[in-house]
Amino acid sequence: MLLYQRLEIANGGTLFLDEIGDLDLGLQSELLRVLETNEYFKIGATTPTIIDVRIIAATNKNLEYLIENKKFRDDLYFRLNVVPINIPPLRERKEDIPLLKLHSI
């Protein structure tokens, strides 16, 4: 599904973008433009489509490293990194496994 289709479906709500660190540089620039203007043009349209969407992005990659190596846009990182939440991997918090097991039923 295209980025714009997902944004349109999420209009008025929240869009979760998993593995944002794997996003192609071209799509990163498109996403940044949408985040800055809250609009995009559908193919063949003469007027923009206005959207109101909240973005939650996740990745297991080191985005600072990707920025240094020109694989992730620093301006997009700045836009997405408003409320960072760092969750250590489960292997580093084994005490959570019994609690997770109780909620998986």
DSSP string across 42-100:
-TT-SSPEE---EEEEE-SS-HHHHHHTTSS-HHHHHHH-SS------GGG-GGGHHHH
For residue 1, the model assigns a pLDDT of 59
Please tell me the pTM assigned to this model: 0.81
User: What is the mean pLDDT for each group of 10 consecutive residues in the chain (105 residues)?
Assistant: 86 95 94 94 90 94 96 96 90 92 78
For residue 105, the model assigns a pLDDT of 65
Torsion of CA 76, 9, 41, 70, to 10 degrees: 20
For residue 96, the model assigns a pLDDT of 92
For residue 2, the model assigns a pLDDT of 82
Which region holds residue 67: left if phi is over 0, alpha if psi is between -120 and 50, else beta?
alpha
Return d(Cα 39, Cα 52) in angstroms, integer.
9
